[in-house]
Structure 1
Amino acid sequence: MKITIENLQLRYGKFTAIDDMNVEIGDRESVVLLGKSGCGKTSTMRCIAGLEQPTAGRITIGDTVVFDAEAGINLPPNKRNVGMVFQSYAVWPHMTVFENVAYSLKIQGIGKTEIKQRVHEVLELVGLEDFASRGASMLSGGQMQRVALARSLVMRPDVLLLDEPLSNLDARLRDRLRIELREIQLQLGLTTVYVTHDQQEAFALADRIALMQDGIIVQMEDPTSMYLEPASASIAHFLGVSNVHPVNPAADGMWTISGSNLVLASATEVRQTGEDLRACFRSEDLLLSRDGVPGANSWRGTVKVSSFQGSSIRYAVDVGAGVTELDVLAPLGARERFQPGEEVWVTINAGAVQVLPQSPAPQELRAAVAA
């Protein structure tokens, strides 16, 4: 079921939570609203669900206008056929798994035979078919979250909304449930809107990611494009690019890191000119060695910290000249290992260096969302 959001605004007094949002979510598409706390992503989801009344704008689900400020339309949540899974499980501990999932169907007056059939279908879908008679208070966190998901799916919603449903779970369980959620979404062909601040979760679950800052969608792309081509340095930093440095243009298309004599070459297109530019490069694209030659993208430094991280080793390298330490991530199987205090050479391929504006231009924001 397609969702169309037009000129959506949500204000609390002088504070603007959502600022003139225009976006279309396709039928059967999974869109992840990604951003830090307070950026407006949960407010957007609550407006779609009918749990918040926007200040202005229009929301359409399928062919039904569920909210229109000018026309005075505001359908209640139970008239929108939208399922919602919250961060808190909200599972009734005094009921069994079956009773938790069946409760909303009973409220609707659906017959016992159909209730039994639908509940068992969704319990099998979420992997809880053997737990139907178990008391909810005896479940693990992951099992409770599956109950919450089943309770939404049993209503056969046109749209499924999920508000950081995995944030209370441990890392390994989150990884597994991400895959299961994606499988369920694809199997049922659900239009899904998922809220998270976790970039890995967004990459795993999205057909498209809408990255939000200060109530605005600043970039909307498929996960691969978002990862490889962030529209600004602020977006790159949020997506895990830890090496972000102000730069100034130098001769022959080169750049110097501001406040230093370190020279950078970039083989990627610079899409915006101006003073507020940043060189962005990922930790895993930097290489460390004991020998090197000074020049563009090759600098001498000293290892300050060496941190073992299981499959990789993270180094903090001081390259001097007033530059913040570089963050370097090397695979565990790297040929050379380095200790704090050791002198090294840091190099990076020009193709791995992106020169980006600190913030995307307004026209780029409109084009990104329209696409």
Structure 2
Amino acid sequence: MKITIENLQLRYGNFTAIENLNLEIDEGESVVLLGKSGCGKTSTMRCIAGLEEPTAGRITIGDTVVFDAAKGINLPPNKRNVGMVFQSYAVWPHMTVFQNVAYSLKLQKLPAAEVKSRVAEVLELVGLSDFAQRGASLLSGGQMQRVALARSLVMRPSVLMLDEPLSNLDARLRDRLRVELREIQLSLGLTTVYVTHDQQEAFALADRIALMQGGRIVQIGGPTAIYNEPASASIAHFLGVSNIFDCTATVGADGYVTAVRTGGEVIRTEQRGLATADDFKACIRSEDLVLSNVSGGGTNEFSGRVAVTSFQGSSIRYAVTLDNGGELDVFAPTKGAERFAIGDRVFASVAPENVQVLPADVVRQARLQEVAA
């Protein structure tokens, strides 16, 4: 079902957790709320589910208004047909897998045959058919998370909400379950709201990502657009851009942006135009820098010495202390690239098309504009 959130606010005394949030989630769409701890993403999900009462605004699921502050409407969670999967598995260890998944159906006093059929259906879906009679205390973390997911799916919710459900699992298992979760969401056509602080998880699971800062959605779009076109330097940093420099920025007669780093280097781009802001940063991804032991004499070149090397399997990470102050973070492929040692003098270059000059922080800029208005 479609979810519509209008002018949502959530305050605790003088603290604002959610500030005038608007969001539409289409039927069958997977939207990931992404951001740092405290940005308001879990609070937003809890408001949709009915676990938190907003201060103001309106929330509609399908054709049903589940919350409207102005009209005094606030449906309880059990009337919203929303399934929830949390970071904590909350699996009953004294029950079998079947009993855990069937528990909520038995509370509804459904016929035994229907309970058996529905549980078997979801256990097949999450890959636990062979574990139906196994005690939950004997399951691995990944299997417990599948039980928690099955327990929500067996209720046939209109909307599925997942709050960092994979954060307790090891890296390889997380990678595998991301794919499985996405397959389940697509096969069922479920409208899904997923909360995470892990950008890789967001990229893997989302049709759209709503990136949150300070209780607001500061950017929303498909994973590719969010990755390639962050709206601010703070967003770029959160998405893994390590090299962010203070700079002054200008638009030349040719329409292209040029930045001058505080250290003195002139950084040219293929970017056309600048957003309205009072503070700009030059942003360069670590993997877009090329290291050499000789100067190329071209544009966008930084000189310095290798301070740290870190072998990371398919890549080597270098920390380069720059001659003009500051540090560069550089990723180089393990194979086919020149190797450098600590203390080596190096020159790092980046193509103009791989430089972005962005406002420092869109939340700060928005608040400045609100004050000015």
Q: TM-score, normalised by structure 1?
A: 0.95
Matching residue within 319, 335, 344 for 1:316: 319
Q: Distance in 1 between matches of 2:323 and 2:13?
A: 48
Q: Which amino acid aligns with 1:140?
A: S
8 A Cα contact 1:122 1:153, kept in partner: yes
8 A Cα contact 1:248 1:275, kept in partner: no
After superposition, give the CA deviation of every residue in 1:171-222 in whole Å (9 maximum; x if it has no partner): 0000000000000000000000000000000000000000000100000010
Aligned counterpart, 2:353 = 351
Deviation at 1:269, TM superposition (A): 2.6
After superposition, give the CA deviation of every residue in 1:331-356 in whole Å (9 maximum; x if it has no partner): 11132111000011100000000000
Q: Distance in 2 between matches of 1:101 and 1:250?
A: 60
Deviation at 1:304, TM superposition (A): 0.7
Matches within 5 A, 1:142-153: 142-153=142-153
Matching residue within 274, 294, 299 for 1:296: 299
8 A Cα contact 2:251 2:273, kept in partner: no
Q: Distance in 2 between matches of 1:4 and 1:244?
A: 36
8 A Cα contact 1:294 1:300, kept in partner: no
8 A Cα contact 1:263 1:295, kept in partner: no
Q: Distance in 1 between matches of 2:214 and 2:353?
A: 31
Q: Distance in 1 between matches of 2:329 and 2:176?
A: 29
Q: Which amino acid aligns with 2:357?
A: V
Aligned counterpart, 1:212 = 212
8 A Cα contact 2:120 2:129, kept in partner: yes
Deviation at 1:297, TM superposition (A): 0.5
Matching residue within 268, 272, 276 for 2:271: 268
Paired residues, what number? 363
Q: Which amino acid aligns with 1:131?
A: F
Unaligned runs of 5+ in 1: 366-371
Deviant stretches of 4+, over 6 Å: none
The answer to whether the aligner puts 1:257 opposite 2:261 as a matched pair is yes
**RMSD over equivalenced CA pairs, Å:** 1.6
8 A Cα contact 1:270 1:355, kept in partner: no
Aligned counterpart, 1:336 = 338
Q: Distance in 2 between matches of 1:325 and 1:295?
A: 20
Matches within 5 A, 1:41-80: 41-80=41-80
After superposition, give the CA deviation of every residue in 1:246-292 in whole Å (9 maximum; x if it has no partner): 1113695532101x221100112333154400000100000001122
Q: Distance in 2 between matches of 1:78 and 1:251?
A: 56
Q: Which amino acid aligns with 2:259?
A: W
Partner of 1:254, secondary structure, is: strand
Q: Which amino acid aligns with 1:237?
A: H
Q: Distance in 1 between matches of 2:226 and 2:250?
A: 28
Q: Distance in 2 between matches of 1:299 and 1:316?
A: 13
8 A Cα contact 1:270 1:356, kept in partner: no
Q: Distance in 2 between matches of 1:334 and 1:35?
A: 36
Unaligned runs of 5+ in 2: none
The answer to whether the aligner puts 1:287 opposite 2:290 as a matched pair is yes
Matches within 5 A, 1:1-371: 1-249=1-249, 254-258=258-262, 260-322=263-325, 324-360=326-362, 361-362=365-366
Partner of 1:265, secondary structure, is: strand
- State the identity as a percent: 70
Q: Distance in 2 between matches of 1:274 and 1:193?
A: 32
Deviation at 1:244, TM superposition (A): 0.5
Q: Distance in 2 between matches of 1:291 and 1:139?
A: 56
Partner of 2:167, secondary structure, is: coil
After superposition, give the CA deviation of every residue in 1:140-171 in whole Å (9 maximum; x if it has no partner): 00000000000000000000000000000000
Structure-2 change in CA distance of 1:84 and 1:251 (3 Å): closer
8 A Cα contact 2:242 2:286, kept in partner: yes
Q: Which amino acid aligns with 1:257?
A: R
Q: Which amino acid aligns with 2:86?
A: F
8 A Cα contact 2:320 2:329, kept in partner: yes
Q: Distance in 2 between matches of 1:106 and 1:198?
A: 36
Q: TM-score, normalised by structure 2?
A: 0.95
Aligned counterpart, 1:369 = none
8 A Cα contact 1:102 1:151, kept in partner: yes
